[in-house]
Amino acid sequence: MPENSTAAVAGFFLPELPRLLPYAYHPQAAQIEIASNGWVRRFLAESFATEADLLFFLRQRNGIYGPLTVPHADRQRAQDIADWYQYVTVIDSSVSDCSTLGGSAEGAVKVFTQILADFGTGMPTDGEFPYGRAGQDLWRRISPGLSQAQIGRFTASLESFLNGCTVEISAKLRDRTPDYESCMAVRLDSFGCDFIELMTEYGAEVDMTELIPELAEVHLHCRRQMTIFNDLLSWRKERAQDDKMTVVRVLTEVEGLGLQTTVDRLCVLVEEHERAYIAARERLLTGPLGSRPDVRRYLSGLDYLMGGSQEFEYLTPRYFGDGAAWDGSTSGWVDLNAAVTRFRSRP
């Protein structure tokens, strides 16, 4: 077996990253997370094959992602955002599961077409469609808080996310791992970068549509930092599910790097993109746009989005095993084979 084979190693060491951006929990984070879990049970329970599968998902604490990424939002908007992220994470989980959406790209496209219809792109689905009532409830709550321009962007962002998911399914079924930039292009879609930025606007109650060209560099580094870090922390799950569209697999299988070398290189990229994001943000704040309160609120929102997203990925059992309980550590050895792991001081 080759030395750099991902199957030949038992784990990797995650270095301490600088964490230059702030993070905070919404003052009502616990209440929002509990309510969001209840919303999943009410609206999405039929998306799970069994009660055990539903409980497995709820134990991942996906409901805390919203309160961590919009910690200063109005309570109702924070709740809407928490439920939205639960919704797309249910879809993402199904994409990785060959017994559900991940079993057929063509079948997934049919489901995705129905999903889009519930967000204002066609005739809404009926109550029998597993994702239907959830999508319609989200759209009823979120769309009044968006401008017409943002509604158009929302639809396009959801379509990009679903297209990225379709490409990921196809790559897995065909056993094809792409090159780095091809992988990154797909991941920026399947990670939901467009709607993540839009939900940050929704949480801050601003509309940045007219300024998207001016925000291009800030968004570039924000997206890449978040996506690369997610691929690092989710590697245990992605490896176990044999998902192909992850930069860790690209560097180990396509470029032939050892796993630890890959992790070290990606950690360097996370820091480089984080610092480049901060520099680009400061250029905006010290330029003509920096005098606009809406721009300043949005950029502050992006700071907390990035910092909060990283906090979530350290704490979620989604990546460390069902039953994992975070002890606050942000560096250490990660066991790839244990059912449940945590950051350890030694392998």
Give per-residue pLDDT as tens, 143-158. Answer: 999 999 999 999 999 9
pTM score, whole prediction: 0.95
What are the backbone angles phi and psi of residue 280, rounded to the nearest 5°?
-65, -40
pLDDT band, residue 7 (cuts 50/70/90): very low
Give per-residue pLDDT as tens, 118-143. Answer: 887 666 776 678 899 999 999 999 99
User: Residue 121: what pLDDT?
Assistant: 67
User: Residue 124: what pLDDT?
Assistant: 73
User: Residue 120: what pLDDT?
Assistant: 74
What sign does the CA torsion over 116, 122, 123, 124 have? positive
**Measuring CA to CA, which residue among 281, 285, 262, 263 is closest to residue 273?**
281
Give per-residue pLDDT as tens, 243-286. Answer: 999 999 999 999 999 999 999 999 999 999 999 999 999 999 99
Q: For 332, left (φ over 0), alpha (ψ -120 to 50), or beta?
A: left
Give per-residue pLDDT as tens, 20-43. Answer: 999 999 999 999 999 999 999 999
User: Residue 2: what pLDDT?
Assistant: 37
Say whether pLDDT at 4 is over 50.
no
pLDDT cut 70: percent of the chain above it: 96
255 is written with which tokens?
Answer: 């470029």
Q: Do residues 11 and 336 make contact, with C-beta atoms less than 8 angstroms apart?
A: yes
Give per-residue pLDDT as tens, 168-195. Answer: 999 999 999 999 999 999 999 999 999 9
How far apart are the C-alpha atoms of 89 and 101, rounded to whole Å? 13
